[in-house]
Structure 1
C-alpha cells in the first residue's frame, strides 16, 4: 500500500471514530428549552404517554468504552493503513500456524503408510477410506465421484488400463501424470488411399472387437492394409495396444472417446491429446500411495475383501 493510500485510510478511520464520539455526545445532551422528560404532550387513549427520557449514563458510557476498545484494537492489530500494529499480527502468519498444526496431524495420520506397497495399503479399510477422501477432493473432478469417468476420462473401476493396471504403474500415473497423444492421421491416410481412407480404417478398427464382422467386409479389408502400414507402430499388429505408450487395446469393447463411427473418425482423422496431471507436488508420495491404493481396490475388490475378512 502506498503512503498516500495509507494516510487516506488512517484519516477515514479517524473521522469515523470522531464522528461516532460526536454523535453520542450530541444526541445524549439536553439543550436549554427542551421539554421535561415527562412533558412531551404525546398522549394516546387518555393515559398512554410518550416520554423523552435520556438514555442512562451507564449505557452511554458503554458506547464510549466501545470506541476506546476500537482504538486499542487498531493500535494492537493492523488496521490503520500500512501500520502493522504493535503485535505485528498478519493473517498470513496465522494461516501458517494453523497449517503447520494441521500438517502435523496429517503426518501423524499418514505415517503408517509411508513407503508401503500400494496393494498392501489397499488391504487396510481405514487406508482405503483415506484414499477415497483424497480422491473425492482431488480426482473426482475428472473421473467422477464414482470413478467411472466420462468421455475423454478413463473409467477406473474396470480392468482396462491404457498405461498398465499394476499397483506400481497406477502409483506412477498418480505421481508423475501421463500424456497420451493420438497423432492426427487424416491427411496421411487420405494421401495413401483417397478420400475414403479414414472410413476404411474406422471400419477395420470396429471389427477388431468383433472378428466375425470382418468376413466379406470390403471396407474393413481396405482398412486393414492401411492399419498395418500406419497404426501397428503404436497399437501393434493385433491391435492390442502398448502400455508403454498408452496406446489403447482396440480389441475390447471400451472406447474412452466413444465407439460411434463419428467419434472414431474424429479420433483417427484429427487425433486426441489426453493429459493426466502429475500430483507428486500437490499430494506428496504418501497421499499419492493412498489414492493409488483406493483406485487399485476399485478394480480388485476380491483381493481387498478377502484380506479384510480374515
Structure 2
C-alpha cells in the first residue's frame, strides 16, 4: 500500500499577501486526508512546519529593491522543510507538501533530490518561477524557487540542505505557462526547457501534453516531482490565490491530467501550493485543490 506523508508548509514569506500560510489547514478542512484515504492510501499527516520567525504584519515583504524579501525567514523555513521531506523519502513514503507559497519548493526539492540521480520536475503553474534577483520585478522569492533549484541565485538558498543544484534544466517540463518575465523567457530558450503554454495546451489538448511530458522525462529521470500551483487554473476555478492569471486551465482538464499522472505511476513526490483562504470564496479553492489531489491518487470523479 502506498504511504503518503502530508507535510504542511505553513509559510507566506515568499510573497506579500498574508493568509497563504493558512492554506495547509484550509486543505485539511476540505477533507484532504479523508479523500486520499478513500482510495486505499495510507496517510500520515506530519502536521505543519512553521518558520522560527513570526509574521510581522506591518513590515511583511517590505524591503529595498534588488533585495530578497523576507530572506532570513525563507532560509529558515526551507531548511526545516527540506529536513522533513528528506526524512519522508528515506522512510519510503510519498511526500505530499501542502502550502503555503511556492517558495516552499526550494525546501521540498532540496530534501527530495538527494534520493535521486536525475530528478525530473513537472512545474504545473501559470508562472515559471525561474527568476533571480536581477530578473525579478518584485524580489519576492516565490518567483524564484525553480531557478534556485537549478543553481541560479542566492548561494545560501542554492546550497540549502545539500550543496549544488537540485534539478537539471533538461529534466524540467513547464505546463500552463502564461505569465513569464523577460529574463525567464531567455533562460528557458537558453536551456531549451520543454514548455507548454496555454496556447500549446489549447492546440494539442491536455492528454497529448501530459503524454508528451511523461515521454520526455521517461528514461532520463529516476523520479518525478510534481509542483502544482493552483494559479495554473483559471481564476474562475481557483480564486483563492495570490497571483491569479486569466485564461488558465480548467478544473476538468487538470483532473484529467492528474488521472494520467496516476496511471503512469511515475510521480514520486508532490507540492500543492498557493492556496490562500483569505482570498477565497467559501473555501472553494481548497475544495477544488483537494479534488485535484484525490484524482492524482486515483479517485474517480463523479
TM range (shorter): under 0.3
After TM superposition, the score normalised by the length of structure 2 is 0.20
More strand by share: 2
More helix by share: 1
After TM superposition, the score normalised by the length of structure 1 is 0.20
